[in-house]
């Protein structure tokens, strides 16, 4: 799927459409040569003479094709020497560029036609169109980024919340890679010892070595498990948290959704069974995206439409990161409420005693003991700010904001950590059971390899292909 690093690649690096400026990026050994075919510096100097990392005003001119002599350029449809646009051009000499190769960026006006013609001309004069993510892939292959950093580039582009962006930037800085590499290095040291033991001593590794080995493997295991444990929060930071509002009919679920959204999104009426479908909207809670779902009130009903709605409520409920159970706080709890409260067991949740603007009657109900409950009024807004803080606190431990904390956001990383932890657990068991060094080393090796997949020290073309094909062209 990917060509050799000797190729010079080019692509439009900005989104296609109308834009103030648009950028064509060239990377590879021929970047300057190819660009100089289309770029005429206003200073009349040759492009090859400009200093690295300096910006130059230029005209973009369709050159006469090497293959043609009738003066008309077959690819662009414009005659040779036609003026395409004016542009700013920058040359970034290897290795001080994003790809660690020679890079030229041509910044013209952001019209799809101009940018397309620039690319076509570059291809005609020796460059090749880049595959999706190929610039970032080159940064990885040339050792400028490890694989987790390359993935963080994509996370940065895709971040939709400030929390997601913060975590992506930490990964881009290499925080995760450093921690993982440290654990891997200590495992490689263990391996070297154990393997030396296998090679040079006839009998099994000594007890003293065994203690030291256990300590190191245990430490690595703790690091891996600690990282693995951050993955759920990581997913929430990256994709947003699924928060589902449930409750029996007419307690004010849709009113709560509208209040949190600050708009009249869902229909609210005094008739029980108003909401029939799941309604999803996103809110930003201090930088964290919440995907909020309002659902049909749960009750026994003969109405087929409502039954379907209740089925969907249950599906949404199963997938939620957190449940907001709304009850009518102005009336005693019903059996249905108590049933719903029971279903919250082992789930992250808040209980909201709504209609606090009316008489408050349920606050002291025994069924609420052990639940975090809040008196609110979806109608007047009483208590809503407290609910928002409680939501955030429940979804995130808060630790991710501390500068040194690392959160795993990527499923691929989580899977690798999970495999590493399993192998290390196995290795520890083998050591404790007095197994032979060979057996211990198999598991330690498996763990080290799994960790190596995160940073890309251990990788396959298939893994790389999968990762980089998700990128846009030009990145
Ligand atoms: N007084 C008062 N009335 C409220 C409050 N919240 C909702 N209501 C009223 O309760 C009724 C039902 O509100 P909805 O938001 O439609 O309730 P729901 O839980 O979505 O109901 P279903 O969609 O039928 O399950 C409406 O008449 C609302 O005006 C509140 O905080 N105080
Ligand atoms: Mg409703």
Domain ranges for the chain, please list them: 9-145, 150-230+407-456, 239-399
Average pLDDT over residues 165-191: 93
**DSSP state letters, 340-360:** HHHHTTTS-EEEEEE-TTS--
Q: What is the per-residue pLDDT for 243?
A: 97
The residue among 125 and 81 whose pLDDT is bigger is 125
pLDDT bracket for residue 198 (50, 70, 90): low
Q: What is the per-residue pLDDT for 212?
A: 83
Q: What is the per-residue pLDDT for 62?
A: 85
Per residue in 31-82, pLDDT (tens digit) is 999 999 999 999 999 999 999 999 999 999 988 765 554 444 555 567 777 8
Q: What is the per-residue pLDDT for 474?
A: 81
Q: Hey, what are 286's tokens?
A: 């201090």
Check if 251 has its Cβ closer than 6 Å to any atom of ligand 1.
yes
Mutate-to-test residue for ligand 1 from 245, 250, 279, highest number of ligand atoms within 8 A of CB: 250
CA distances from 460 to 152, 261, 453 (A): 19, 45, 9
Atom of ligand 1 nearest to the CA of 257: 15
CA distances from 395 to 212, 293, 306, 342, 433 (A): 39, 16, 30, 21, 40
Indicate the class that CATH gives domain 9-145: alpha beta
Half-sphere exposure of 356 (CA within 13 A, CB side): 17
**What percent of the chain lies above the pLDDT cut of 90?**
68
Check if 255 has its Cβ closer than 6 Å to any atom of ligand 1.
yes
Q: Hey, what are 367's tokens?
A: 């069924």
Lowest mean pLDDT among 126-140, 206-220, 352-366: 206-220
Instruction: Answer whether 150-230+407-456 and 239-399 agree in fold.
Output: no
CA of 354 to the centre of ligand 1 (A): 9
Check if 354 has its Cβ closer than 6 Å to any atom of ligand 1.
yes
Nearest CA to ligand 1 atom 3: 355
Mutate-to-test residue for ligand 1 from 255, 256, 301, 324, highest number of ligand atoms within 8 A of CB: 255
Nearest CA to ligand 1 atom 9: 252
> How many other C-beta atoms are found inside a 10 Å radius of the C-beta of residue 163?
25
| Ligand whose nearest atom lies closest to the CA of 249 | 1
Residue with tokens 């279903």: 343
Angle subtended by helix axes 207-229 and 175-200, to nearest 10 = 160
150-230+407-456 in CATH: which number? 1.20.120.430
| Torsion angle, alpha carbons of 244, 248, 251, 253, to 10 | 20
Q: Which residues of 429-459 are buried (b: 16+ CB within 10 A; e: fewer)?
A: ebbeeeeebeebbbbbbbbbbbbbbbbbbbe
* Of 139, 132, 138, 108, nearest in space to 121 by CA: 108
Lowest mean pLDDT among 23-32, 102-111, 158-167, 314-323: 158-167
Which stretch of DSSP H or E encloses residue 411? helix 411-432
**What percent of the chain lies above the pLDDT cut of 70?**
92
Mutate-to-test residue for ligand 1 from 378, 380, 383, highest number of ligand atoms within 8 A of CB: 378
Q: Hey, what are 168's tokens?
A: 């992506």
Atom of ligand 1 nearest to the CA of 256: 15
CA of 379 to the centre of ligand 1 (A): 8
By three-state DSSP, how is residue 426 classified? helix
Nearest CA to ligand 1 atom 17: 252
User: How many angstroms separate the first and last alpha carbons of the chain?
Assistant: 16
Nearest CA to ligand 1 atom 7: 252
pLDDT bracket for residue 405 (50, 70, 90): confident
Q: What is the per-residue pLDDT for 1?
A: 43
Q: What is the per-residue pLDDT for 139?
A: 96
Q: Which residues pair with residue 57 across a beta bridge?
A: 88
How far apart (Å, rounded) are the C-alpha atoms in residues 163 and 320? 20
Average pLDDT over residues 183-195: 88
How buried is residue 28: exposed, middle or buried, by Cβ count under 10 Å (0-12/13-18/19+)?
Answer: buried
| Ligand whose nearest atom lies closest to the CA of 354 | 1
By three-state DSSP, how is residue 202 classified? coil
Check if 234 has its Cβ closer than 6 Å to any atom of ligand 1.
no
Which stretch of DSSP H or E encloses residue 25? strand 19-27
239-399 in CATH: which number? 3.40.50.300
Q: What is the per-residue pLDDT for 3?
A: 59
Per residue in 272-293, pLDDT (tens digit) is 999 999 999 999 998 889 999 9
pTM for the predicted model, two decimal places: 0.80
How far apart (Å, rounded) are the C-alpha atoms in residues 22 and 347? 48
Residue 131 pLDDT more than 90? yes
Mutate-to-test residue for ligand 1 from 268, 357, 383, highest number of ligand atoms within 8 A of CB: 268
CB 253 within 8 A of CB 279: no
Q: Hey, what are 25's tokens?
A: 């990026």
Mean pLDDT in the chain? 90
By three-state DSSP, how is residue 226 classified? helix
* Of 233, 175, 287, 218, nearest in space to 414 by CA: 233
Atom of ligand 1 nearest to the CA of 255: 15
How far apart (Å, rounded) are the C-alpha atoms in residues 396 and 391? 9
Per residue in 355-400, pLDDT (tens digit) is 999 987 787 888 898 899 999 999 999 999 999 999 999 998 765 6
Residue 222 pLDDT more than 70? yes
């Amino acid at each position: 799927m990917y060509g050799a690093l000797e190729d010079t690649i080019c692509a439009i690096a900005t989104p296609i459409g109308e834009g103030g400026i648009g950028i064509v990026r060239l990377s590879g050994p021929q970047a300057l040569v190819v660009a100089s075919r289309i770029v005429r510096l206003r200073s009349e100097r040759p492009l090859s003479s400009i200093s690295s990392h300096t910006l130059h005003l230029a005209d973009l001119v369709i050159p006469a094709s090497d293959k043609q002599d009738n003066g008309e350029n077959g690819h662009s449809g414009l005659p040779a020497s036609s003026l395409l646009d004016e542009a700013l051009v920058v040359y970034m000499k290897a290795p001080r560029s994003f790809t660690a190769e020679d890079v030229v960026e041509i910044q013209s006006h952001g019209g799809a036609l101009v940018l397309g013609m620039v690319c076509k001309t570059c291809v005609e004069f020796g460059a090749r169109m880049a595959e999706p993510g190929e610039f970032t892939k080159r940064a990885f292959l040339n050792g400028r980024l490890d694989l987790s950093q390359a993935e963080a580039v994509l996370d940065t582009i895709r971040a939709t919340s400030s929390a997601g962006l913060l975590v992506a930037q930490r990964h881009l800085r290499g925080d995760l890679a450093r921690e993982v590499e440290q654990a891997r290095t200590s495992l490689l040291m263990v391996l070297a010892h154990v393997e030396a033991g296998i090679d040079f001593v006839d009998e099994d590794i000594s007890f003293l070595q065994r203690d030291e080995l256990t300590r190191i493997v245990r430490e690595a295991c703790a690091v891996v498990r600690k990282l693995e444990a951050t993955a759920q929060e990581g997913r929430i930071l990256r994709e947003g948290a699924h928060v589902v509002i449930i409750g029996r009919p007419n307690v004010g679920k849709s009113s709560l959704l509208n209040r949190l959204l600050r708009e009249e999104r869902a229909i609210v009426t005094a008739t029980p069974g108003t909401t029939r479908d799941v309604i999803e909207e996103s809110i930003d809670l201090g930088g964290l995206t919440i995907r909020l779902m309002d659902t049909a009130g749960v009750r026994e009903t003969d109405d087929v439409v409502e039954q379907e709605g209740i089925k969907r409520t249950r599906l949404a409920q199963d997938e939620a990161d957190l449940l907001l159970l709304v009850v009518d706080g102005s009336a005693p709890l019903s059996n249905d409420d108590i049933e719903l409260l029971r279903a919250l067991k082992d789930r992250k949740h808040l209980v909201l005693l709504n209609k606090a603007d009316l008489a408050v009657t349920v606050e002291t109900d025994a069924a609420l003991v052990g639940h975090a409950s809040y008196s609110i009024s979806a109608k007047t807004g009483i208590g809503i700010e407290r609910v928002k803080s409680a939501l955030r606190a429940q979804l995130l431990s808060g630790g991710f904001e501390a500068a040194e904390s690392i959160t795993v956001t990527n499923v691929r990383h989580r899977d690798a950590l999970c495999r590493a932890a399993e192998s290390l657990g196995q290795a520890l068991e083998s050591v404790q059971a007095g197994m032979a060094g060979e057996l211990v080393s198999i598991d330690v090796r498996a763990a080290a390899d799994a960790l190596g997949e995160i940073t890309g020290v251990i990788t396959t073309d298939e893994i790389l292909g999968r990762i980089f094909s998700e990128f846009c062209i030009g990145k």
